[in-house]
Amino acid sequence: MRRKTLPLALAAATVATTAVALTVIPDVSVATPDTATTPDTVRWGPCSEKADSPRKAASPRTADSPGLECSTLKVPLDYRDPDGRQIEIAISRLASEKPSQRRGILLTNPGGPGITGLGYPAALAASKLPQDVLDSYDVIGFDPRGVGRSTPVTCDLTPEQRKRGNLPPYAHTAADVAREAKNARAVAKQCATSKTAWMHPHTTTANTARDMDRIRAALGEPKLSYLGGSYGSYLGAVYTTLFPGRSDRIVLDSNLGPGGYDVTATRSLARGMEDRFPDFAAFAAAHPEYGLGTTPEQVTAKFFELAKRLEAKPVRGIDATLFRGLTFDRLYSDASMPLVAEMWQALDKDRPLPPDTPPSMDDMENFMSARFAVICGDNRWPETVREYQRNVAVDRLAYPMLGGSSAGIGPCAFWPDKRVEPPVRIGDRGPSNVLMVQNERDPGTPLAGAQKLRRAFGKRATMVTADQGGHGVYPFGANTCANDAVTAFLTTGQRPARDLACAAQPSE
């Protein structure tokens, strides 16, 4: 389920500009299915064990879960040439068992980019997605283009590069940024010369949204409903912008800003860490048995003390960058707070680390490569080392826990200039059928970005915020006010009359 899988994906990211907007004509954007070749008819069959390979670490459930069916669909590599080279998209279905109550399809995406979604319908069902929702829809999962069982991309990342992750080491000085630029340039070159380099310019959020519309058409549905979290919020926003007339009920959970995973969103991870950390500081202070401090202030001081010590001398293979990244990653869920405290305690006393600390990166090559392809291909990034040095200097002061890393330089600075189209501009054109749901203290997609997306949608959206921390609201969170609002929208079409703030759920 997402509260376990999305943090793991971000672990690989952490430890490890404004452009001319795309002009959108409702339902007649470049490459709608109606203007392309007719999609194949979907033939459902059993899901093999390969369905969530090769990245089981980031797959919520094996895709051969009971009731889940799988298939593949061919789509154009380049929607400007719909009859040209084709690639495959792997899709899955958890069919409604109540045909008389079935409304249509609910397409889902667990986030990323780079995460397989083939097993996500089964994960949602196992995570108590309400029965009324399961009865109302065939829940559809898919591996986005470039990922998993869909035609995959690669950057031929070495084991050492995979271990470094998708965000750079914490930079304390301008010289640190300049040194890291060499690694970033090397990865960008590998991506540009890999055996799947032909796919990279077309592995974008806009094309994945077009693939979604191909799935809709192939299933014979006039519209699709959607449930997407984290990066999936941006994917859903792009879909309903490109295809407003084909969007039914759109739920966006844990929202990126309207620019998607651009440089602003990546830098915002540091703000997310600072927003969320007080929850952990209060937890650790309330559990003095961990020995991390008896007040939130003492726990915060312990963070910086450990980071400084690990900078000078790693403990059991954990250096300061990995320490920061693992702490950030595991703050995605309240349930992981004991693991964070145990890790800190082990590092402080040089004792054995908790299991899966750090997690293995052996199977993360495709995830990392696909992530690079999407985030570097969707937007233009600063292209000079000096700009990243300035960003690091600003964010290291404003958000010292993570700012020296999240503002640092990565492969996008050296990405080949082969973008086939500008980013999609999210706006208020289209039906009022978007429900946004957001935790107030979300480390991965901070509230500030969600508020920007809400403003961009204007009359199209209503937003529900929950007074809780962590990444992911529905159906994994504990806030019944927020969860009930989403269920009501998916099953009845009714949204709150205006933006809704849900109070903190009382502790049981």
- Residue 3 has a pLDDT of 40
Burial of 151 (0-12, 13-18, 19+ CB in 10 A): buried
Strand 45-46 with 68-76, pairing: antiparallel
| Residue that has been written with the tokens 């090397």 in this structure | 186
Residues 151-177 have a mean pLDDT of: 93
Residues 235-249 have a mean pLDDT of: 98
Cα(7)–Cα(356) distance, integer angstroms: 13
Note whether 119 and 139 are within 8 A (CB). no
Note whether 473 and 466 are within 8 A (CB). yes
Strand 45-46 with 461-469, pairing: unpaired
For residue 298, pLDDT beyond 70: yes
Sign of the dihedral through C-alpha 376, 382, 386, 390: negative
Cα(237)–Cα(258) distance, integer angstroms: 8
Strand 86-94 with 224-229, pairing: unpaired
Cα(301)–Cα(356) distance, integer angstroms: 26
β-partners of residue 87 are 75
- Residue 213 has a pLDDT of 98
DSSP-derived letter for residue 234 is H
Angle at 15 between CA 182 and CA 306, to 5 degrees: 110
- Residue 4 has a pLDDT of 39
CB atoms within 10 A of CB 98: 12
| Tens digit of each residue's pLDDT (9 = 90 or more) over 188-231 | 999 999 999 999 999 999 999 999 999 999 999 999 999 999 99
For residue 70, what pLDDT band results from cuts at 50, 70 and 90? very high
- Residue 63 has a pLDDT of 52
**In the structure encoding, which two tokens stand for residue 264, read together?**
């602003």
The model carries a pTM of 0.91
| Tens digit of each residue's pLDDT (9 = 90 or more) over 443-493 | 999 999 999 999 999 999 999 999 999 999 999 989 999 999 999 999 999
Q: Which CATH superfamily is domain 1-508 in?
A: Alpha/Beta hydrolase fold, catalytic domain (3.40.50.1820)
Cα(375)–Cα(114) distance, integer angstroms: 10
Cα(124)–Cα(226) distance, integer angstroms: 13
Mean pLDDT of the chain: 89
Q: Which sequence spans correspond to the domains of the chain?
A: 1-508
Q: Which residues are catalytic?
A: 230, 442, 471
Note whether 82 and 31 are within 8 A (CB). yes
Query: Which of 105, 100, 87, 216 lies closest to 152, judged by CA?
Result: 87
Burial of 222 (0-12, 13-18, 19+ CB in 10 A): exposed
Q: What angle, 0 to 180 degrees and rounded to 10, lies between the N-to-C axes of helices 320-330 and 296-312? A: 140
Flag the least confident range among 13-17, 43-47, 96-100, 273-277. Answer: 13-17
For residue 6, pLDDT beyond 60: no
**In the structure encoding, which two tokens stand for residue 202, read together?**
């077309």
- Residue 30 has a pLDDT of 32
Residues 334-357 have a mean pLDDT of: 95
| Residue that has been written with the tokens 């960008």 in this structure | 188
What phi-psi label fits residue 214: left (phi over 0), alpha (psi between -120 and 50 degrees) or beta?
alpha
List Cα–Cα distances, 211 to 205, 221, 495, in angstroms: 10, 14, 28
Q: Which residues contact 394 (CB under 8 A, 6 or more apart)?
A: 403, 407
Residues 365-383 have a mean pLDDT of: 95
| Tens digit of each residue's pLDDT (9 = 90 or more) over 407-447 | 999 999 999 877 888 999 999 999 999 999 999 999 999 99
Q: How big is the chain by its Cα radius of gyration, in Å?
A: 22
Percent of the chain with pLDDT over 90: 81
Q: Which residues contact 190 (CB under 8 A, 6 or more apart)?
A: 155, 156, 157
Cα(24)–Cα(16) distance, integer angstroms: 36
Flag the least confident range among 13-17, 61-65, 329-333, 350-354. Answer: 13-17
Phi, psi of 196 (to 5 degrees): -110, 20
**In the structure encoding, which two tokens stand for residue 165, read together?**
């992750």
Residues 373-391 have a mean pLDDT of: 96
